[in-house]
Chains A and B, each alone.
Chain A
Amino acid sequence: MVAFVPTTRAGLYRSLRIISIPLFFAIWELVSHSGIVNEFLFPPPSVVAEALFEWAVHGHLLLDVGMSISRVVVGYILGATLGVAIGIATARYPALSSLLTPIFQVLRPIPPIALVPIVILWLGLNESGKYFLILWAVFFTVWIATHFGVQRVDPLLIRAAQALGTPEHRMLREMLLPGALPYVFVGLRTSLSVAFYTLVAAELAGAFAGVAYRIDIAHENLRIGLMMAGLVVLGLISAGLDLAFEGWARHVMRWR
Chain B
Amino acid sequence: MGAACDAVALMPAPPVTVPRATLAADASCRVGYDLAPARGAIEINNLSIIFGQPGKEFLAIDRVSFAIKPGEFICIVGPSGCGKSTILNMVAGFERPTEGSVTLDGVAITKPGADRGMVFQQPSLFPWKTVRANVAYGPRMAGLLDRDAYCLADQYLEMVGLAQFAGNYPKTLSGGMQQRVAIARALVNRPSVLLMDEPFGALDAQTRAMMQETLLRIWADNKTTVIFVTHDIDEAIFPGDRILVMSASPGRVVLDIPVTLRRPRSTDISLDRLFLSIKKRCLEIIRREILSAFERQAQASESNHS
Interface residues of A (CB under 8 A from B): 156-157, 159-167, 170, 174-175, 178-179, 181, 253-256
Contacts and interface: CB of A to CB of B under 8 A. Distances in A.
A165 B142 contact: yes
Contacts of A181: 128
B128 A163 contact: no
Contact of B126 (A157, A159, A165, A254): A157
B118 A255 contact: no
A163 B93 CA distance: 8
B169 A254 contact: yes
A166 to B, nearest CB: 5
Contact of B124 (A157, A174, A179): A157
Contacts of A256: 127, 171
Contacts, number: 70
B294 interface: no
A24 to B, nearest CB: 38
A162 to B, nearest CB: 4
A156 B17 contact: no
20 contacts: A159-B92, A160-B120, A160-B124, A160-B126, A163-B114, A163-B116, A164-B117, A164-B138, A164-B141, A164-B185, A164-B186, A165-B114, A165-B189, A174-B137, A174-B141, A178-B129, A179-B128, A253-B128, A255-B127, A256-B127
B113 interface: yes
Interface in B109-127: 111-114, 116-118, 120, 122, 124, 126-127
A253 B127 CA distance: 10
A163 B186 contact: yes
Contacts of A253: 128
B202 interface: no
Given A161-B137, A162-B93, 17 more contacts: A156-B122, A159-B118, A160-B126, A162-B94, A163-B114, A163-B118, A164-B114, A164-B117, A164-B138, A164-B186, A165-B17, A165-B113, A165-B141, A178-B129, A255-B127, A255-B171, A256-B127
